[in-house]
Every structure is written in structure tokens, then in C-alpha cells.
Amino acid sequence: MIVVKAGGRALAQNLDNIAKSIAKRASEGMRIIFVHGGGDLVSEYERRMGIEPKFVVSPQGIRSRYTDEAELEVFVMVMAGKLNKEIVSRLQRYGANAIGISGADGGFLKAERKKKIVIVDERGRARAIPGGYTGRIIEVNASVAENLLNSFQVLVVAPIALGTEYELLNIDADQAAAKISMGIKAEKLLILTDVEGVIVDGGVLGSISVDEAEKLQPKIGTGMNRKVMMCCEAVRSGVEEAIISTGLIDDPLEALEREIGTRIKT
């Protein structure tokens, strides 16, 4: 089993090729869980509904969407509705029998709501604010994925989890992909984004160890730092290889077979 994640910009620019690329591997017998991001599309619909999207930055430099109650509604509509079904229909068009769920369906992903989060404010000072409707994944129910992948070729997962009080929560898609890869004991985790891989000192890193990746963290900027962190966690808990590569080429899943992108191993 392979877990593939694609970010919102890669999907917006190249959904057709991403879907073809997944469908091709599915027809060869690969079982794929596809986790999607889609933050930009959520922002677009928020604006259409008169809500201004908000973002926060943690003291570690990790940038996240801030989700209050009204924003959660749009998040769920766009992620579990519009985008998830758009991806499913595209996979179906290219011959893959795909089914789409959110992490709440079947109790697939359980998360703990963040009561408080620490953010850095405009003046550079750290302070705690209410966490909103954002969660940290605490449990992956692997049997949900296994059962669905016995009946369908591709499982498309929207980044939403069920909280401990059964509330819907926004979860980070990179985190979701990594935790799923760990929970189902996937062979590989492939994160597709809008750059060729992890760039350090002007060049794309090829193969690196988890230790090397962790040492390089301070040199890696927002967006990518979270991916590297999650890849390291996945590899440390048994996923053979985590790859960060471009989702903008004709056949992005080629990164599973050919040495492109940045590969993180033990």
C-alpha cells in the first residue's frame, strides 16, 4: 500500500495528470490512499461567502490556517464535498474505481482538538490563543482503509477528522498522510507539491537520511518544513521511504520508480 498526498496548488494546476498517474498505478495493482490538501480553494470559497481567511505562525515557524466555527463549515463543504468529489470523478474518468471519504467517515481518523495554540503575533511575540477547530491526529483506524481497498482501487481522503467529542476538525493534510502511512504500515509515502523537492543552498536534495533531514530543518522554510518533519516521523516508525517531489509533471507518481525529488530513508 502506498500513501500519496498532493497539495492544493499542485491539484489546481495539474489534477488531470495526477489522476492519470494514480489511475495507471492502480490498474497495475497498486493499492493507493490519496490524501488531498486544498487550502487555496477553501480560502476562495470563504471569500465568496464573505469570510476573510486567517493564518497563524507557530514559534517553530510552521504556518497554519486558523479555523473558527464559520470557517470550519466552509472547510468541510469544500474539502469533503467539492474537491474530494472532483478528484473521485477524475479518477473514475481515467479508469480507477475510486471512493472518497473524509477522515470522519467510518471513524477513520480521530483527532484531539487543540484547546490552545501558541502563535507569534505581528510584533514577533509568542502568545496563546484558543485553538479553534483544528486537531492533532491521535488514532488511525487502519481497518477502514483496508476494508475499502478490498472493494475499491483508490481511497481518496479529505483532511478532516473526528474529535474526541465527535466534532469535525480541520487537520493538516501532510500530517494526515504521514499518520495514515504509519497506521496502515504503508511501504511508501509520497508527498507531491509545487516544487521539485527540498531545496537547500539552491539545489534539490536527492537521498537523505532521517538524521540529516532533521539537521537541515532550520534551513527549510514554511510549508516544506512541515513535510520534512512528517516524513521523518513516518520513516522512523517503519515506512520504508518518504518522498517529496513535484506534482506538476506529466506523471508525478514516477517518483516511486525513478530517482526524482527528495527521498528520506532511515
Positions in the binding site for ligand ATP (CB under 6 A)? 7-10, 37, 39-40, 173, 193-195, 198-200, 220-224
Cβ nearer to ligand ATP, comparing 80 with 198? 198
Work out how close the CB of 66 gets to ligand ATP at its nearest, in angstroms, rounded to a whole number.
14
Cβ nearer to ligand ATP, comparing 153 with 193? 193
The CB-nearest residue to ligand ATP is 7
Cβ nearer to ligand ATP, comparing 3 with 198? 198
Cβ nearer to ligand ATP, comparing 5 with 25? 5
Please state, in angstroms and rounded to a whole number, the distance separating the CA atoms of residues 93 and 101: 18
Work out how close the CB of 10 gets to ligand ATP at its nearest, in angstroms, rounded to a whole number.
6
Work out how close the CB of 219 gets to ligand ATP at its nearest, in angstroms, rounded to a whole number.
7
Cβ nearer to ligand ATP, comparing 222 with 266? 222
Q: Exposed, middle or buried: residue 104 (CB in 10 Å: 0-12, 13-18, 19+)?
A: buried
Work out how close the CB of 251 gets to ligand ATP at its nearest, in angstroms, rounded to a whole number.
18
Work out how close the CB of 9 gets to ligand ATP at its nearest, in angstroms, rounded to a whole number.
5
Q: What is the DSSP string of the chain?
A: -EEEEE-HHHHHHHHHHHHHHHHHHHHTT--EEEEE--HHHHHHHHHHTT---EEEE-TTS-EEEE--HHHHHHHHIIIIIIIHHHHHHHHHHTT--EEEEETTGGG-EEEEE-SEEEEE-TTS-EEEEE--SBEEEEEE-HHHHHHHHHH-SEEEEESEEEETTS-EEE--HHHHHHHHHHHTT-SEEEEEESSSS-EETTEE--EEEHHHHHHHGGGS-TTHHHHHHHHHHHHHTT-SEEEEEESSSS-GGGGGTSS-SEEEE-
Cβ nearer to ligand ATP, comparing 32 with 148? 32
Work out how close the CB of 193 gets to ligand ATP at its nearest, in angstroms, rounded to a whole number.
3
